[in-house]
Structure formats: structure tokens, C-alpha cells
């Protein structure tokens, strides 16, 4: 088995492991979110109006521990529950002890908005008066210190290492080809073939093959044989070969590696 095949197989195996680990972490997060909602239900009992709902706000991509108080708008035909307020708590650094309460402002004159602001005030007063006990009783997120989370970091690091090795291997194979017969490219449309800036005022495009014919003693530049391909409106393909001397190696490498997905194996 070739080296690249071995690396790809190892990456695929690790990615499968990662899916299992991510599922386990999702289960822990779901358990934690449930604990958060149940705690706030218990603490805010008696402060909310009938019909008000406490829901976790994780679906919006915000903090795992953010909850929303939502309610059906009384007397109006809405098929969703509108947010009254949201509460979140930072789980990092010095902000870990704080509670963040968010709401929106409006100038609308109706009973729903007045009732909403009354609820916001009651919840804010409760948090202010019970901040210390809430900090003590707040559920701990066990994900960060869990074995599965450490396993996730291990797998992710191994995947990154293998991906770097894969890139380095592909790079070396492509660059070795330049001096051993040349590198050939393919694309459905000839204008999608790679380009190479051989001089500051000269760029060759639609390259189907690059071959190094000679390198300077320093290795910083090389003479090239470049084949370009053009297709006319009748579908006839013509190829032209151009020789260029002393093209910078970094330019050559960049052009080849940028289009490595178009290299003919």
C-alpha cells in the first residue's frame, strides 16, 4: 500500500472514532442543558406568568447554558412563542461567576410588551437578590474535564498531524515529478488549467504540463518546458510548448501545489 493510501486510511479511521466521541459529548451537553432548564424552572417558579415556557437556546449556536423565557402572545394568532428574556452564564475565566440577562427594547404600546417588562423586572430582581446562592447551586458542566473531551482533542490532534503529513507527502511527490518527466494537469475546461507567473510582466495560462529541464546551482530558479493547451470553437485542441529560463522555484512550487487536485496521477 502506498504511503498516501496508508495516511488516508488512518485519517478515515480516526474520523470514524471522532464521530463516536462527538456523539458522547453531545449526550453530556444535552444532559447539562436539561439540568440548566430544570434549575431555572425551580428558581423562577411563581415569577413567570401562566403559559410562559423555559427553553434551552442551544439551537441558535450560543452558549450551552443559555435559556430563554418564551410565551404565546395573548390574543394574537402567532404560531410561535415569542422571547421575553434570556439568561446565560459564562463558563470561562473571571466571568464564570456572572449571570447575563438579555432582553430587547421596543416602543410598541400593547399589553404583551408591558407584561413582558414586568416579568423581566421580577426575574432581574430575583437574580440580583440571590446571586450568591445561584452561583453555588448552578450545575457544573462536566464536558470540559471529561475523558471523552480529552479523547476528542487527542483524535483531532492526530488527524491534524496526519493531514500535515499528507500535504507534505503530496507536495514532495508533485515536486519530484517536476524533474522526473514533468507534472501534467487536467481540467474539463482548458481555461481552468493552472497559470504560472514566469516573469513579473509575463504569465502563462492554460498549462497542461510543466517540466524542469535544468536548475541553477543555488536551486532557487529553474529552466522550464511548459506545455499549454487550447481548444477552439470547433473543439479542436492544440498544444504549444514554451521554454522559459530562470523561473523562480517558489513561483513554480506555488503554481503546482495550488493546482495539485488537477495533477494527473
Same-domain check for residues 132 and 195: no
Question: pLDDT over 90 for what percent of the chain?
Answer: 45
Quick one: pLDDT band at residue 163, thresholds 50, 70, 90? very high
pLDDT band at 24 (very low <50, low <70, confident <90, very high): very high
Does one domain contain both 208 and 137? no
Query: Is 33 in the same domain as 104?
Result: yes
- Number of structural domains in the chain: 2
Mean pLDDT of 9-36: 93
166: in domain? no
Strands 183-184 and 196-199 turn out to be unpaired
Do 19 and 139 belong to one domain? Answer: yes
Q: Kindly state whether residue 160 falls inside one of the protein's structural domains.
A: no
- Angle separating helix axes 3-43 and 147-179, nearest 10 degrees: 150
pLDDT tens profile 91-112:
654 545 578 888 888 887 878 8
Cell of residue 94, nine digits? 473571571
- C-alpha cell recorded at residue 8: 488516508
Name the maximum alpha-carbon separation found in the chain: 85
What average pLDDT does range 140-154 have in this prediction?
91
- Looking at residue 73, its pLDDT comes to 52
Residue 74 belongs to some domain of the structure: yes
Q: Tell me what the mean pLDDT of segment 198-211 comes to.
A: 94
The torsion angles phi and psi of 169, rounded to 5 degrees, stand at: -65, -45
- pLDDT bracket for residue 12 (50, 70, 90): very high
Distances (CA, A) of 255 to 146, 194, 241: 45, 7, 17
Q: Are residues 185 and 101 in the same domain?
A: no
| Strand partners of residue 260 | none
Domain assignment of residue 65, given as a range: 3-147
We report the CATH number of the domain holding residue 195 as 3.10.450
Q: What is the pLDDT of residue 92?
A: 58
**Is residue 154, in this structure, part of any structural domain at all?**
no
pLDDT in tens, 216-237: 999 999 999 999 998 888 878 8
State the cell numbers at 68: 430563554
Give percent of the chain above pLDDT 70. 89
In this structure, are 124 and 199 located in the same domain?
no
Mean of the pLDDT values across residues 51-78? 64
| Domain annotation covers residue 230 | yes
Amino acid at each position: 500500500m502506498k504511503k498516501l493510501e496508508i495516511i488516508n486510511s488512518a485519517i478515515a479511521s480516526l474520523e470514524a472514532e471522532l464521530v463516536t466521541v462527538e456523539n458522547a459529548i453531545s449526550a453530556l451537553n444535552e444532559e447539562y442543558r436539561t439540568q440548566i432548564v430544570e434549575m431555572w424552572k425551580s428558581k423562577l417558579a411563581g415569577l413567570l406568568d401562566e403559559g410562559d415556557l423555559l427553553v434551552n437556546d442551544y439551537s441558535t449556536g450560543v452558549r450551552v447554558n443559555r435559556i430563554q423565557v418564551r410565551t404565546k402572545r395573548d390574543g394574537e394568532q402567532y404560531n410561535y412563542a415569542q422571547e421575553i428574556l434570556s439568561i446565560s452564564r459564562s463558563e470561562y475565566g473571571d466571568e464564570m461567576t456572572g449571570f447575563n440577562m438579555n432582553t430587547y427594547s421596543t416602543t410598541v404600546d400593547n399589553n404583551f410588551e408591558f407584561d413582558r417588562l414586568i416579568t423581566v423586572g421580577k426575574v432581574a430582581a430575583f437574580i440580583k437578590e440571590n446571586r450568591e446562592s445561584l452561583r453555588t447551586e448552578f450545575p457544573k458542566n462536566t464536558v470540559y474535564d471529561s475523558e471523552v473531551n480529552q479523547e476528542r482533542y487527542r483524535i483531532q490532534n492526530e488527524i491534524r498531524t496526519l493531514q500535515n503529513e499528507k500535504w507534505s507527502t503530496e507536495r514532495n511527490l508533485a515536486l519530484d515529478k517536476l524533474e522526473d518527466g514533468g507534472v501534467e494537469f487536467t481540467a474539463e475546461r482548458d481555461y481552468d488549467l493552472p497559470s504560472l507567473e514566469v516573469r513579473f510582466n509575463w504569465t502563462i495560462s492554460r498549462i497542461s504540463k510543466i517540466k524542469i529541464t535544468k536548475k541553477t546551482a543555488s536551486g532557487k530558479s529553474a529552466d522550464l518546458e511548459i506545455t499549454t493547451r487550447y481548444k477552439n470553437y470547433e473543439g479542436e485542441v492544440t498544444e504549444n510548448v514554451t521554454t522559459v529560463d530562470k523561473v523562480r522555484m517558489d513561483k513554480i512550487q506555488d503554481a503546482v501545489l495550488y493546482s495539485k487536485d488537477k495533477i494527473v496521477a
